[in-house]
């Protein structure tokens, strides 16, 4: 009897383990909207399956048609007619042949578009580099498991994910396919419940330069088509805006840049590589996001009324290191060099209007998230946060710090991990969550420990800024002092706000015999500010 009892326990455990779907294939969710979700399912061998789903855990009132999948060809299916602002629960019913009974996968979930005012969480990672020595597969699994514990509405990956462009002229179509398939096992841990949004990195090789080399037999065409096959990125459809251009060689819409709104936030994902063509490794003004993407970016920022605006790209200028040191240059900032010796934007980009950085500042972008530099680094430029996202799976925990920390002027932190952002009506909380291998944990270093945390507030755009002809600020931009010329001889209760809408100086009283007022701003950081007198606001810039 004792032996029978032990055998029964073993069989029950084996049965429960066998229904974990990762043993049979991967599910990648993508393109969540207000009323739909897209599944991309790749089986390790032939599977017959269907999806059952509902709005309560453990209760599945709906199901899809039957599908079949056989490696290496995934099945992509869209579920429509969903409720907005709703969490759904689902599982996969699957079998390997028609003579078997269906097995049930574990229960997973997905979320449709949040309503304004809703609280939600999303996560961000950058630069897995699993195709070279920088990335540890063991730590990558832990990083994905860590993110899965957050039950985020979705996650963003900021590139250098599939690679590898180190051999751009000799890499084959089959090798590119395998690189994209290899990464599925890691995304499958998380993205069966948190839909994946991809942002392209330099090592994806999807650049305008590579697209022109012996098409269609080149790195960029191969990489684009395999990414599209296994990873459903947004396509303009009314919910998403983005690149609606049809590219040749079977690419169609490349799914490379896009934007959407979720709750109180706008999300804008840029492609900083597809539109430079002059050089393999562009510098200065050779680098560009292209006029079409620029116009879309401008319209997207200017037309959004969201409380929070987040922009994502692999890196400023698509290259270099750091953020504050690069944002003033070329298409991003308009200047020839960091010394601001010559402003060239109107010459180099006639008719465009403003550099990218200025567009973001003027339209109250809260945080620009980037990768490429493999560490946590935070800088603030003109009141806007530039957040470098750490590498998720560096088992040395110091690659980025050793190589690139000197390029940053703000807060730098080592380690591996991801960013978790929780958005509410009051604030957007940005956290660095660290990942550690079990062998590297100590009393002070723990997996999922908090590395850093800060919050950004809804911008001052929520305050109505009105014209006020009773006073004028000059010079603007200013250096150490600003002057107010007013028809009033006495002004009291002046307040100064930063670009994030936070009051930094209160209850200022200034007086003059002639209506000209002088104020010392030498201690203020460089940035954009607003002076409030009564209910009136005026904007000035500290340089």
Q: For position 346, which CATH number holds? A: 3.60.21.10
pLDDT of residue 366: 96
**Does residue 492 carry a pLDDT above 60?**
no
In a domain, residue 212? The reply is no
Rounded distance, CA 294 to CA 299, Å?
A: 9
Q: Of the ranges 111-120, 161-170, 319-328, 501-510, which one carries the lowest mean pLDDT score? A: 501-510
For residues 400 and 423, membership in a common domain is answered with yes
In the listed set 462, 490, 514, which residue is the last one of a domain according to the structure?
A: 462
> Burial level of 216, CB count in 10 A (0-12/13-18/19+)?
middle
pLDDT of residue 166: 87
pLDDT digits over 366-380, tens only? 999 999 999 999 999
For residues 196 and 271, membership in a common domain is answered with yes
The CATH number for 504's domain is 2.60.40.10
Overall domain count for the chain = 3
**Does residue 16 carry a pLDDT above 70?**
no
- What's the Rg (C-alpha) of the chain? 26
Q: Of the ranges 43-52, 331-340, 394-403, 524-533, which one carries the lowest mean pLDDT score? A: 524-533
In a domain, residue 177? The reply is no
In a domain, residue 170? The reply is no
Residues with Cβ < 8 Å from 93, sequence gap 6 or more? 49, 50, 51, 52, 63, 102, 103, 104, 105
Nearest to residue 448, comparing CAs of 420, 413, 412? 420
Strand segments (E) across 345-462: 367-370, 376-381, 384-388, 411-413, 417-423, 428-434, 450-456
pLDDT digits over 419-430, tens only? 999 999 999 999
Structural domain of 139: 120-164+185-201+224-462
pTM above 0.85, yes or no: no
User: Which of the pair, 2 or 217, is modelled with greater confidence?
Assistant: 217
For residues 344 and 271, membership in a common domain is answered with yes
**Does residue 3 carry a pLDDT above 70?**
no
For residues 73 and 189, membership in a common domain is answered with no
In a domain, residue 102? The reply is yes
Q: What percent of the chain stands above pLDDT 70?
A: 87
pLDDT of residue 513: 43
pLDDT of residue 497: 77
In the listed set 444, 462, 480, which residue is the last one of a domain according to the structure?
A: 462
In a domain, residue 209? The reply is no
Mean per-residue pLDDT, 450-462? 79
Beta bridge partners of 92: 51
pLDDT of residue 2: 41
For residues 99 and 130, membership in a common domain is answered with no
**Does residue 97 carry a pLDDT above 70?**
yes
Mean per-residue pLDDT, 394-398? 97
For residues 249 and 286, membership in a common domain is answered with yes
pLDDT of residue 321: 95
Tokens coding 317: 């200028």
Beta bridge partners of 423: 120, 428
For residues 373 and 504, membership in a common domain is answered with no
pLDDT class for 405, splitting at 50, 70, 90? very high
Q: Of the ranges 192-201, 355-364, 422-431, 519-528, which one carries the lowest mean pLDDT score? A: 519-528
In a domain, residue 176? The reply is no
Instruction: Please name the residue that has the structure tokens 């009773």.
Output: 470
Provide the CB-side half-sphere exposure for 476 (13 A, CA): 15
**Does residue 121 carry a pLDDT above 90?**
yes
pLDDT digits over 204-261, tens only? 999 999 999 999 999 999 999 999 999 999 999 999 999 999 999 999 999 999 999 9
In a domain, residue 12? The reply is no
Mean per-residue pLDDT, 32-37? 98
In the listed set 89, 111, 133, which residue is the last one of a domain according to the structure?
A: 111
pLDDT digits over 276-299, tens only? 999 998 999 999 999 999 999 999
- Number of neighbouring beta carbons within 10 Å of residue 171: 19
Sign of CA dihedral 56, 58, 64, 70: positive
pLDDT of residue 177: 97
Q: What is the 3-state secondary structure (H, E, C) of 74-98?
A: CEEEEECCCCCCCEEEEEEEEECCC
For residues 302 and 335, membership in a common domain is answered with yes
Averaged pLDDT score across all residues of the chain: 89
In a domain, residue 206? The reply is no
**Does residue 538 carry a pLDDT above 90?**
no
Angle in degrees, CA 271, 159, 133, rounded to 5: 150
pLDDT of residue 498: 74
For residues 240 and 375, membership in a common domain is answered with yes
pLDDT of residue 505: 76
pLDDT of residue 18: 36
**Does residue 312 carry a pLDDT above 80?**
yes
The DSSP letter of residue 506 is E
For residues 106 and 129, membership in a common domain is answered with no
For residues 350 and 416, membership in a common domain is answered with yes
pLDDT digits over 128-180, tens only? 999 998 999 999 999 999 999 999 999 999 999 998 898 999 999 999 999 99
Rounded distance, CA 338 to CA 348, Å?
A: 17
Task: Report the phi/psi class of residue 67: left, alpha or beta, with left for phi > 0 and alpha for psi in -120 to 50.
Answer: beta
pLDDT digits over 342-353, tens only? 999 999 999 999
For residues 303 and 342, membership in a common domain is answered with yes
pLDDT class for 486, splitting at 50, 70, 90? low
């Amino acid at each position: 009897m004792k032996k029978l009892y032990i055998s029964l326990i073993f069989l029950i455990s084996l049965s429960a383990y066998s229904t974990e779907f990762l043993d049979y294939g991967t599910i990648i969710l993508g393109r969540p909207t207000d009323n739909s979700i897209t599944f991309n399912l790749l089986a390790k061998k032939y599977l017959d399956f269907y999806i059952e789903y509902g709005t309560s855990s453990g209760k599945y009132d709906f199901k899809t048609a039957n599908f079949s999948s056989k490696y290496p060809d995934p099945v992509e299916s869209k579920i429509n007619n969903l409720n907005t602002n709703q969490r759904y629960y689902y599982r996969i019913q699957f079998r390997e042949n028609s003579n078997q009974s269906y097995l049930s996968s574990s229960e997973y979930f997905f979320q449709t578009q949040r309503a304004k005012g809703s609280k939600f969480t999303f996560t961000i990672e950058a630069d897995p580099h699993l195709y070279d020595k920088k990335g540890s597969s063991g730590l990558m699994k832990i990083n994905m498991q860590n993110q899965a514990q957050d039950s985020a509405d979705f996650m963003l990956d900021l590139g250098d994910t599939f690679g590898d462009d180190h051999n751009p002229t000799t890499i084959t179509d089959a090798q590119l396919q395998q690189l994209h398939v290899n990464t599925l096992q890691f995304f499958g841990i998380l993205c069966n419940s948190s839909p994946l949004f991809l942002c392209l990195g330099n090592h994806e090789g999807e650049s305008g330069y590579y697209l022109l080399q012996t098409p269609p037999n080149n790195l960029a065409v191969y990489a684009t088509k395999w990414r599209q096959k296994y990873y459903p990125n947004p396509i303009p459809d009314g919910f998403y805006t983005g690149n609606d251009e049809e590219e040749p060689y079977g690419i169609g819409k490349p799914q490379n840049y896009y934007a959407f709104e979720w709750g109180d936030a706008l999300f804008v994902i840029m492609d900083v590589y597809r539109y430079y063509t002059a050089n393999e490794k562009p510098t200065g003004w050779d680098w560009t996001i292209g006029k079409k993407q620029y116009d879309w970016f401008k319209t997207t920022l200017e037309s959004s009324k969201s409380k929070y605006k987040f922009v994502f790209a692999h890196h400023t200028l698509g290259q270099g290191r750091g953020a504050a040191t690069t944002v003033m240059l070329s298409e991003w900032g308009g200047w020839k060099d960091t010394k601001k010796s010559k402003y060239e934007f109107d010459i180099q980009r006639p008719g465009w209007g403003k550099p990218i950085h200025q567009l973001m500042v003027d339209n109250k972008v809260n945080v620009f998230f980037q990768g490429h530099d493999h560490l946590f680094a935070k800088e603030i430029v003109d009141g806007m946060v530039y957040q470098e996202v750490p590498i998720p799976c560096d088992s040395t925990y110091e690659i980025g710090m050793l190589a690139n920390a000197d390029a940053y002027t703000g807060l730098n932190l080592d380690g591996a991990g991801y960013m978790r952002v929780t958005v509410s009506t009051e604030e957007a909380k940005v956290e660095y969550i660290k990942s550690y291998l079990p062998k590297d944990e100590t009393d002070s270093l723990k997996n999922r420990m908090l590395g850093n945390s800060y919050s950004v507030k809804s911008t001052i755009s929520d305050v109505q800024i009105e014209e006020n002809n009773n006073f004028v600020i000059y010079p603007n931009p200013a250096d150490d002092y600003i002057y107010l010329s007013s028809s009033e001889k006495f002004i009291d209760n002046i307040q100064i706000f930063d670009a994030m809408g936070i009051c930094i100086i209160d209850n200022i009283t200034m007086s003059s015999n002639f209506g000209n007022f002088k104020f010392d701003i030498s201690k203020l950081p460089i940035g954009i500010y607003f002076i409030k007198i009564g209910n009136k606001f005026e904007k000035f810039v500290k340089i």
